């Protein structure tokens, strides 16, 4: 072989190698580009049997089943007959979406009262973790979501104590250990997540920098923000018309500042409204004194019945990126998410480098107006 031939052969090999390298990096880039944001939906089973025909698994990445109780230091199925039936139905949705993950969510507004007692001792935490993981082992589910609403803080009459701050972390340590065991048994990833109050006080009452390392996702409950006035209960930003501290952005930044990786944070969306009767007519109702709660309803009801009702006027607070309705005759004020605010929230999630979105709850928007909006703007 001549010197020129050898040189040409080297060039050809170098060209092939270059092509392979470029193909590899292009494939990796495509993986990053195609990475989907999570869309986590809470499906309530506390009313009894769940109508699984309303759930479209192709529009979700995760289902969190709400709720499992805490009793006698154990994860407890209060409605065992319907809960177990619901588990089987929801896991069965994987036939339509094999990538769907189904988790049990433990706690919630009412069933958080026994967390503090359970987490007070090592034996309590271990027993709880083992019982929670036994449930997902039995029903071939994918993980555990914890909704301890008030660690180290007063709320809804729940038991709380200063030790909750450390015990909150230790509870997740035990849960992660039990899930790792199940992961080895099954060869499948098992998830550990938490729903958290999206405001600075929650981060002060916990060790979120440590907890964040143990969790796959932190679901920010960026809704139910309230005051003595008619305010946005799920506004993305603070309103220039209101003097309130809490909003979705402030809650998100509080957790980032507490040391939680932003790529684990999931922004909350409200599929329901909060409604109050206000003291006087301020043309829009926003900022008026609240005289008490009124029936609001889920978004399907709002879109189909109230947005078409001439008695209600629709407004957009662009500073808060939040919509609201007001009836000047009855002085009823409603705060909620709609397709416009969902679009803004999805844009925010992308800009902040967050994991995705979650919502409470599926039954409030059975026609999936908001779920469709999230899919359209997020993935």
Q: Which of 282, 270, 288 lies closest to 228, judged by CA? A: 288
User: For the residues 307-336, what does the mean pLDDT come to?
Assistant: 97
Whether residue 23 is contained in a domain is answered as no
Q: What is the per-residue pLDDT for 280?
A: 81
Range of the domain at 100: 34-270+337-378
Determine the distance from the C-alpha atom of residue 345 to the mean position of all C-alpha atoms in its chain, rounded to a whole number: 13
User: For the residues 307-327, what does the mean pLDDT come to?
Assistant: 98
Please report which confidence band the pLDDT of residue 27 belongs to, taking 50, 70 and 90 as the band edges: very low
Whether residue 352 is contained in a domain is answered as yes
Query: In the chain, what percentage of residues exceed pLDDT 70?
Result: 91
CA-CA distances (angstroms) from residue 264 to 79, 83, 144, 195?
32, 28, 15, 12
Q: What is the per-residue pLDDT for 52?
A: 83
Whether residue 169 is contained in a domain is answered as yes
* Span 106-116, pLDDT tens digits: 999 989 999 99
User: For the residues 339-365, what does the mean pLDDT come to?
Assistant: 98
* Span 48-93, pLDDT tens digits: 888 888 999 999 999 999 999 999 999 999 999 999 999 999 999 9
Q: Examine residue 28 and say whether the peptide bond preceding it is cis (omega within 30 degrees of 0).
A: no
Q: What is the per-residue pLDDT for 157?
A: 87
CATH code of the domain in which 209 resides:
3.20.20.80
Residue 5 has pLDDT above 90, yes or no: no
* Span 127-144, pLDDT tens digits: 999 999 999 999 999 999
Q: What is the per-residue pLDDT for 159?
A: 95
Q: Report helix, strand or coil for 217.
A: strand
Please report which confidence band the pLDDT of residue 269 belongs to, taking 50, 70 and 90 as the band edges: very high
Query: In the chain, what percentage of residues exceed pLDDT 90?
Result: 85
How many domains does the chain fold into? 1
Where b means 16+ CB within 10 Å and e means fewer, 228-256 reads ebbbbbbbbbbbeebebebbbbbbbebbb
Residue 4 has pLDDT above 60, yes or no: no
Length of the chain: 379
Whether residue 4 is contained in a domain is answered as no
User: For the residues 255-272, what does the mean pLDDT come to?
Assistant: 98
Whether residue 298 is contained in a domain is answered as no
Residue 276 CB-half CA count within 13 A: 23
Residue 24 has pLDDT above 70, yes or no: no
Average pLDDT, the chain: 92
Question: 22 vs 298, which has greater pLDDT?
Answer: 298
For 26, the token pair is: 């292009």
Whether residue 280 is contained in a domain is answered as no
Whether residue 323 is contained in a domain is answered as no
In angstroms, the CA 234 to CA 224 distance is 6
* Span 200-223, pLDDT tens digits: 999 999 999 999 999 999 999 999
Whether residue 172 is contained in a domain is answered as yes
Q: Which of 228, 220, 227, 229 lies closest to 200, judged by CA? A: 220
């Amino acid at each position: 072989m001549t010197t020129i031939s050898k040189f040409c052969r080297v060039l050809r090999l170098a060209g092939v190698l270059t092509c392979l390298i470029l193909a590899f990096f292009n494939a990796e880039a495509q993986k990053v580009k195609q990475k989907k944001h999570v869309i986590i939906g809470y499906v309530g089973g506390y009313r009894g049997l769940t109508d699984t025909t309303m759930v479209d698994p192709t529009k979700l990445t995760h289902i969190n089943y709400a709720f499992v109780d805490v009793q006698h230091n154990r994860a407890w199925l209060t409605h065992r007959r319907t809960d177990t039936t619901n588990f089987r139905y929801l896991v069965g949705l994987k036939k339509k979406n094999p990538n769907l993950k189904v988790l049990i969510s433990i706690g919630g507004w009412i069933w958080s009262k026994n967390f503090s007692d359970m987490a007070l001792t090592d034996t309590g935490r271990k027993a709880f973790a083992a019982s929670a993981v036994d449930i997902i082992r039995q029903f071939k589910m994918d993980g555990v979501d914890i909704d301890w609403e008030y660690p180290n803080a007063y709320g809804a009459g729940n038991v709380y104590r200063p030790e909750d701050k450390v015990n909150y972390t230790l509870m997740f340590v035990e849960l992660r250990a039990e899930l790792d065991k199940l992961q080895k048994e099954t060869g499948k990833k098992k998830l550990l997540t938490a729903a958290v109050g999206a405001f600075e006080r929650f981060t002060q009452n916990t060790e979120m920098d440590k907890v964040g390392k143990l969790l796959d996702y932190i679901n920010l409950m960026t809704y139910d923000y309230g005051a003595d006035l008619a305010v946005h209960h799920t506004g993305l930003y603070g309103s220039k018309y209101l003097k309130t501290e809490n909003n979705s952005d402030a809650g998100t930044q509080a957790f980032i500042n507490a040391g939680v990786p932003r790529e684990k944070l999931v922004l909350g969306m409200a599929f329901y409204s909060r409604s109050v009767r206000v003291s006087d007519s301020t043309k829009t109702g926003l900022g008026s004194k609240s005289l008490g709660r009124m029936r609001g309803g889920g978004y399907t009801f709002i879109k189909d019945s109230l947005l078409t009702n001439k008695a209600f006027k629709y407004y957009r607070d662009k500073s808060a990126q939040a919509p609201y309705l007001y009836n000047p005759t009855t002085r009823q004020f409603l705060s909620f998410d709609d397709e416009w605010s969902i679009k803004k929230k999805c844009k925010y999630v992308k800009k902040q480098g967050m994991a995705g979105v979650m919502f409470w709850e599926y039954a409030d928007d059975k026609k999936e107006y908001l779920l469709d909006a999230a899919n359209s703007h997020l993935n």
